[in-house]
Amino acid sequence: MDAPEFFSAYTCNGITYPETLEARMNTIRRKESLGNDVMRYVIDAPLVAMHRKPGQFVIVRVTDHGERIPLTVADADPERGTITLIVQAVGRTTREMALLQPGDALHDVVGPLGRPTHVRMFGSVLCAAGGIGAAPLYPIAKAMKDAGNQVVTVLGARTRELLILEDNLRAVSDRVIVTTDDGSQGLKGLVPDAVQSLVAEGNHFDQAVVIGPPLMMKFTSLLTKELGIPTIASLNPIMIDGTGMCGGCRVIVGGKTEFACVDGPEFDAHQVDWDTLVRRLGTYREAERASCERFEHECMIDTHGKESR
């Protein structure tokens, strides 16, 4: 779905902007379902689009009363002044975002934040994604390929319905291995199983990038450590302000406390304290569940026209 083109524009440094930049800031230009509550949004954010690099993210607020959530910039078009965000509606904020349509605007989009991925000519790079982790992996795989690396991608999900961006990753990879827990598409098994098979075939990797659910990253990085493959992981801890002030995104790496928003989000996967990360991610699970239940109730009230949120 596309938003109506109702803004006049001017051009500066080869980039076209609206008559007033504020008029289009954070407006949703396109919205596309990727299946199973996963949406791809193309959003007006010209300054972010100009400066963003692979691995970086933005902090988003859907409404003026909403919480701040970090979302990786999955793609950007500096000429059009847009960025692409891929969002799975799993919590209250992402469910609120899923209700927005082209022409609506997000209240805040702040970034780019975080340290960019260290991209260079490594040789052969293994890119491994689980589930929604394919979204942040895509720009990294593309950058690694553009740098001259041979890129082999392992794309995993619980079931075929949860696989996303397969075609995009095939376009920037020399080889793509798909794996699903239930065998509904590709190989039956987990991402570490596919990595083990690749190495058993005689494939050599000079660098690995792992992004996905924490347990998937943990066990994949334990395997790459055993195999002697240097590995970075993009971490997704609880995050609030994205500037290092709140301390909510603290992680333990190499026995030291680091802050994912300013020191990361990428770290040496072999040094991450995965068990602490997993425990901290569960801190607000019950509060989030209760918030989602209230949101669903409020939506039902709205639907029946009895009361407005």
Which of 64-91 are b and which e, b meaning 16 or more Cβ less than 10 Å from the residue's Cβ?
A: eebebbbbbbbbbebeebbbbbbbbbeb
What number of other Cβ atoms are within 10 A of residue 36's Cβ?
Answer: 15
| Contacts with 51 (C-beta within 8 Å, 6 or more apart), sequence order | 112
Percentage with pLDDT > 90 across the chain: 47
Q: CA 309 to CA 299: how far, in whole Å? A: 8
Q: CA 25 to CA 36: how far, in whole Å? A: 28
The pTM (predicted TM-score) of the whole model is: 0.81
Domain ranges of the chain: 9-113, 124-234
**Coil, helix or strand for 57?**
strand
Q: What are the counts of helices (DSSP H) followed by strands (DSSP E) for the chain?
A: 9, 17
Q: Do the domains spanning 9-113 and 124-234 agree at the CATH topology level? A: no
Burial-class residue 17 by CB neighbours within 10 Å (0-12, 13-18, 19+): middle
Contact, 140 vs 120, CB < 8 A? no
Give mean pLDDT, residues 159-183. Answer: 92
Contact, 114 vs 55, CB < 8 A? yes
Does 214 score more than 70 pLDDT? yes
Sign of the Cα torsion 167, 168, 171, 175 reads negative
Q: Which fold has domain 9-113?
A: Elongation Factor Tu (Ef-tu); domain 3 (2.40.30)
CATH placement of domain 124-234:
3.40.50.80
Does 302 score more than 70 pLDDT? no
Contact, 53 vs 122, CB < 8 A? no
Contact, 73 vs 41, CB < 8 A? no
Contact, 284 vs 238, CB < 8 A? yes
Q: CA 37 to CA 273: how far, in whole Å? A: 30
pLDDT band (50, 70, 90) for residue 294:
low
Does 228 score more than 70 pLDDT? yes
Does 234 score more than 70 pLDDT? yes
pLDDT at site 197: 92
The identity of residue 271, as a single letter, is Q
The tens digit of pLDDT for each residue in 101-121 reads: 898 888 888 889 989 999 999
pLDDT at site 124: 95
Question: In this structure, what token pair is assigned to residue 302?
Answer: 């709205």
Does 51 score more than 50 pLDDT? yes
